[in-house]
C-alpha cells in the first residue's frame, strides 16, 4: 500500500509522530511525505500534482495537513484532527519533512491570511459523492477539535472520536486509525467477507456483573428483574477477552452486534449503544443492530448464548456461546478463525421465509419522514439556540425524537398494514445521539401501541434484513441494496400514505381508517 502522509501543526497545537508510528504499524507500506512550498495556495497546488503523480492508495493528513489532504478528491483519505479555523497569531508551523524529521518555520501574517481564506472556502467546492472517500478522526477531550468536527459533519458522514489527547500515542493510532485503514482497504478492493453477528448479553457482555452495582432501592423495587432497572445495561462489564476477540475477528469477518433490548426497559436501547461506543470504539461504529427477530438478518454466522429472539432460527449457522467449542472467548476466537476458511453461505431468501408460523409477506416501514413528521420537528420544535449549536444536525439534539409527531394518516396506515402484512419498523438512530435509541422506541410505544410491540428494528444496515417490501423515504443506510422491493415514500407515485396504500390495493376513507379494496 502506498500512503501519502502530510503533518502540519500550527503553534499552540500538539503534534504526534504519526510517520514513525505508521512505519512501525505498517512495515510493508510505502509512506511518502511530499515536500511543499511555504505559501498555502502554492502548497495545495503542488500537493495535488504530487498526489496525481504517485497515485496513493490512501492519504493521511494531520492538523492543517488534514485540511489540505481533504482536497485530494477521489482518493481515500483520513483526516486526523483537521483544523478549520485559525487564531490570529500562529507564529510558527511544525512540518514533517520527507526524511521523517520535523522542522519549524515562521508563518507570516500574509501566509496566515491566505490560509484563512482557504479554510473559508474549504467546503464550497467539494464534489458530489466525496463522502464515501473521507473519514475524520477527532480528539474527544479537545473542545476546539470537537468544534471543528461540527464543520466536518455538515458535509461528510464518517466522523469518529477517540478518547486520547490531540497528540496521538502509538495506541491511539493502532486502535483508531488502523481500523479505518482496514475499512478503506475493504471498500477499495470490494472484498466480500463472511458476515458474523455477535450477541451482547451473556456473550460479549457479562450480564451478571451489573447486579453488584444495584442500589438497595433498586434491589427492593426490581427484585430479580435487574434488566428492568434504568441504566442497568450501560453498567455491565465485558466478558474476559471479549473486546480483544471482537477486534481480532473484525479483521477476518464483516462483524455486527446483533442484540435485543428489553421492551419493558426503554433506557436499555440507549444503554446498549453507549456500551458499544465505550468498549468497542471505532470497531463498533454503526454496527449495533437492535431487534427482537434475529432470524430476519442475512448472514453466515451468529454467536449467541441463547436460542431466543430468533437466534435458533437464524438463516446461517447459530453457534451457542458458552458451550463447546465456544466455551469462552479464547476458544471461540480460535474456532471462528478456523471455520472462517470454510465455505458457509447463509440463506439470502427474501420473501419466502419460514416466519414463526406467520405466512404473510414481510414488510418494513421506516420512521423518520415516513411515519414520523421529521420536517415539522425541524421547522417548529427546535429553539434558535439549538439551531445555532447543532447547525444542520438537528437529529443530534438530545430529545429531538421525543418531540416529533406522526405524519398524517401514518398511524392508521400502519395499523392496516399490520393486518395484511407481517409488518416491522426498520429505522436508524443517529450514532452521535444516544438518547435517540430510547426515544424512537418510546415513540413507537406512544403512537403505535400493542401492534408494534417488539417490532422495532434499529440498524444502519437495512440491506441486512430479509423481507418483501421496504417503505422508506431515503436511499441511505443500505436501502438501495435492500433485496426486496423498495417503495420511496414521498416520491411519485408514493407521495403520501393515501397514495402508498393505493399501490398496495388499499385506501383511506374520509375518517382516516384504512380499508382493503374489494
Q: Is 95 helix (H, G, I), strand (E, B) or coil?
A: strand
Residue 518 clears pLDDT 60, i.e. is over it:
no
- Is the pLDDT at 449 greater than 60? The verdict is yes
pLDDT of residue 514: 44
| Alpha carbons 277 and 305: distance in angstroms, whole number | 22
**What is the CA angle 448-451-457, rounded to 5?**
80
Query: Confidence band (pLDDT; 50, 70, 90) for 517?
Result: very low
**Span 483-496, mean pLDDT?**
95
pLDDT of residue 471: 98
Is the model more confident about 289 or about 152? 289
pTM confidence score? 0.85
Two domains, one topology: 2-189 and 195-339: yes
Judged by average pLDDT, the poorest of 63-67, 337-341, 447-451 is: 337-341
**Lowest mean per-residue pLDDT among 170-179, 200-209, 382-391:** 382-391
- Report whether pLDDT(509) > 70: no
Long-range contacts at 136-143 (CB < 8 A, ≥ 24 apart): 136/66, 136/78, 136/79, 136/82, 136/160, 137/78, 137/79, 137/80, 137/81, 137/161, 137/162, 137/176, 137/177, 137/180, 138/81, 138/162, 139/81, 139/164, 139/165, 139/166, 139/168, 141/165, 142/81, 142/166
Instruction: Say how far residue 223 (Cα) sits from the centre of its chain.
Output: 35
Q: Is the pLDDT of residue 205 over 50?
A: yes
**Topology (CATH) of 362-516:** Rossmann fold (3.40.50)
What is the CB-side half-sphere exposure of residue 408 using CA atoms within 13 A? Answer: 10
Helix axes 40-54, 109-120, angle to 10 degrees: 60
What is the average per-residue pLDDT within 305-323? 96
Task: Express each pLDDT in 74-116 by its tens digit.
Answer: 999 999 999 888 765 566 667 777 776 777 676 677 777 777 7
Beta bridge partners of 365: 425, 471
Q: Is the pLDDT of residue 317 over 80?
A: yes
Cell of 21: 508510528
Q: Please say whether the beta carbons of 43 and 134 come within 8 A.
A: no
Distance CA 24, CA 4 (A): 16
Mean pLDDT of 337-359: 62
The DSSP H or E segment spanning 414 is helix 410-420
DSSP state letter for 91: E
Q: Is 199 a catalytic residue?
A: yes
Q: Using 50, 70 and 90 to split pLDDT, how confident is the model at 353?
A: low
Cell of 118: 482557504
pLDDT at 515 over 50: no
Candidate CATH numbers 3.60.60.10, 3.40.50.1000, 3.40.605.10, 3.20.20.100; the one for domain 195-339: 3.40.50.1000
SS3 string, 131-173, reads HHCEEEEEECCCHHHHHHHHHHHCCCCCEEEECCCCCCCHHHH
CA 280 – CA 100 distance, rounded (Å): 32
The CA distance from 66 to 50, in Å, is 16
Q: What is the pLDDT of residue 212?
A: 86
* C-alpha distance from residue 197 to each of 202, 300, 433 (Å): 14, 8, 23
Rounded mean pLDDT of 150-156?
Answer: 83
| pLDDT score of 394 | 81
Average predicted confidence (pLDDT) for the chain: 88
Torsion of CA 274, 280, 283, 284, to 10 degrees: -30
Lowest-confidence segment of 167-171, 179-183, 507-511 by average pLDDT: 507-511
On the question of pLDDT at 414 being above 70, the answer is: yes
Mean pLDDT within 342-350: 54
Q: What is the average pLDDT across 384-390?
A: 85
Task: Give the pLDDT confidence score for residue 516 in this predicted structure.
Answer: 42
Q: Phi-psi category of 357—alpha, beta or left, where left has phi over 0 and alpha has psi -120 to 50?
A: left
**C-alpha span between 177 and 161 (Å, rounded):** 11
Domain ranges of the chain: 2-189, 195-339, 362-516
Residue 241: is it exposed, middle or buried by C-beta count within 10 angstroms (0-12/13-18/19+)?
middle
How far is Cα 23 from Cα 12, in angstroms, rounded to an integer? Answer: 26
Evaluate if residue 354 carries a pLDDT over 60.
no
Over range 24-44, report the average pLDDT: 90
Backbone angles phi, psi at 192, to 5 degrees: -100, 105
| 349: pLDDT strictly greater than 60 | no
Q: Which of 57, 172, 199, 473 is catalytic?
A: 199
Average pLDDT over residues 388-394: 78
Banded model confidence at residue 512, pLDDT cuts 50, 70, 90: very low
Look up residue 260 and give its three cell numbers. 435485543
| Distance between CA atoms of residues 13 and 15, nearest Å | 7
Whether the predicted pLDDT of 461 surpasses 90: yes
Condensed to tens digits (0 to 9), the pLDDT of residues 237-278 reads: 999 999 999 999 998 999 999 999 999 999 999 999 999 999
Q: How many CB atoms lie within 10 A of CB 191?
A: 10
Indicate if 217 belongs to the active site: no
Whether 234 shows a pLDDT value over 60: the answer reads yes
Mean pLDDT computed over 354-376 = 88
Alpha-carbon distance of 67 to 63, in angstroms, equals 7
Confidence (pLDDT) at 513 = 44
Residue 343 has pLDDT above 60, yes or no: no
CATH homologous superfamily for the domain 2-189? Alpha/Beta hydrolase fold, catalytic domain (3.40.50.1820)
Q: Which of 39, 42, 172, 201 is catalytic?
A: 201
Least confident residue range of 178-187, 282-291, 310-319: 178-187
CA angle 395, 401, 403 (to 5 degrees): 120
Q: In 3D, which of 266, 243, 260 has the Cα closest to residue 311?
A: 260
Distances in Å between the Cα of 226 and the Cα atoms of 99, 203, 230, 262, 484 are 58, 17, 9, 11, 39
Amino acid at each position: 500500500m502506498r500512503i501519502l502522509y502530510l503533518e502540519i501543526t500550527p503553534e499552540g497545537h500538539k503534534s504526534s509522530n504519526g510517520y514513525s508510528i505508521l512505519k512501525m504499524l505498517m512495515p510493508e507500506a510505502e509512506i511518502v511525505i511530499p515536500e511543499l512550498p511555504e505559501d498555502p495556495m502554492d502548497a495545495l497546488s503542488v500537493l495535488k500534482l504530487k498526489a496525481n503523480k504517485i497515485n496513493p492508495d490512501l492519504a493521511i493528513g494531520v492538523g492543517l495537513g488534514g485540511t489540505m489532504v481533504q482536497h485530494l478528491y477521489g482518493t481515500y483519505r483520513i483526516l486526523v484532527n483537521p483544523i478549520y479555523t485559525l487564531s490570529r497569531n500562529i507564529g510558527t508551523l511544525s512540518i514533517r519533512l520527507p526524511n521523517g524529521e520535523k522542522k519549524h518555520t515562521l508563518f507570516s501574517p500574509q501566509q496566515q491570511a491566505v490560509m484563512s481564506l482557504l479554510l473559508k472556502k474549504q467546503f464550497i467546492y467539494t464534489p458530489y459523492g466525496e463522502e464515501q472517500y473521507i473519514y475524520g478522526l477527532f480528539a474527544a477531550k479537545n473542545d476546539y477539535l470537537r468544534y471543528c468536527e461540527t464543520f466536518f459533519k455538515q458535509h461528510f458522514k464518517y466522523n469518529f472520536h477517540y478518547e486520547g489527547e490531540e497528540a496521538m500515542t502509538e495506541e491511539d493510532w493502532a486502535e483508531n486509525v488502523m481500523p479505518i485503514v482496514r475499512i478503506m482497504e475493504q471498500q477499495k478492493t470490494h472484498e466480500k467477507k463472511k458476515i458474523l453477528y455477535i450477541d451482547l448479553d451473556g456473550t460479549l457482555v457479562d450480564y451478571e456483573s451489573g447486579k453488584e452495582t444495584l442500589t438497595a432501592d433498586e434491589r427492593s423495587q426490581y427484585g430479580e428483574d435487574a434488566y428492568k432497572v434504568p441504566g442497568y445495561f450501560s453498567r455491565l462489564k465485558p466478558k474476559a477477552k471479549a473486546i480483544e476477540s471482537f477486534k481480532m475477528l473484525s479483521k477476518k469477518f464483516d462483524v455486527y452486534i446483533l442484540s435485543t433490548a428489553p421492551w419493558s426497559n426503554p433506557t436499555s436501547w440507549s444503554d446498549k449503544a453507549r456500551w458499544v461506543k465505550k468498549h468497542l470504539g471505532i470497531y463498533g461504529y454503526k454496527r449495533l443492530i437492535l431487534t427482537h427477530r434475529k432470524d430476519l438478518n442475512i448472514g453466515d454466522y451468529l454467536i449467541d448464548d441463547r436460542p431466543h429472539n430468533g437466534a435458533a432460527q437464524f438463516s446461517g449457522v447459530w453457534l451457542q456461546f458458552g458451550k463447546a467449542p465456544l466455551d469462552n472467548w479464547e476458544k471461540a476466537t480460535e474456532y471462528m478463525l478456523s471455520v472462517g476458511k470454510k465455505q458457509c453461505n447463509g440463506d439470502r431468501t427474501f420473501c419466502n421465509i419460514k416466519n414463526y408460523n406467520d405466512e404473510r409477506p414481510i414488510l418494513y416501514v421506516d420512521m423518520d419522514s415516513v411515519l414520523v413528521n421529521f420536517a415539522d420537528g425541524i421547522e417548529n420544535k427546535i429553539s434558535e439556540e439549538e439551531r445555532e449549536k447543532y447547525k444542520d444536525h438537528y437529529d443530534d439534539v438530545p430529545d429531538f425524537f421525543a418531540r416529533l409527531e406522526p405524519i398524517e394518516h401514518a398511524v392508521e396506515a400502519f395499523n392496516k398494514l399490520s393486518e395484511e402484512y407481517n409488518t416491522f419498523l426498520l429505522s436508524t438512530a443517529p450514532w452521535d445521539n444516544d438518547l435517540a435509541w430510547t426515544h424512537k422506541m418510546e415513540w413507537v410505544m406512544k403512537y403505535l401501541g400493542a401492534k408494534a410491540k417488539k417490532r422495532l428494528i434499529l440498524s444502519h444496515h437495512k440491506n441486512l434484513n430479509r423481507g418483501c417490501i421496504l417503505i422508506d423515504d431515503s436511499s441511505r443506510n443500505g436501502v438501495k441494496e435492500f433485496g426486496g422491493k423498495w417503495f420511496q415514500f414521498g416520491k411519485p407515485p408514493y407521495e403520501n400514505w393515501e397514495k402508498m396504500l393505493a399501490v398496495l390495493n388499499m385506501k383511506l376513507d374520509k375518517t382516516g381508517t384504512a380499508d382493503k379494496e374489494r
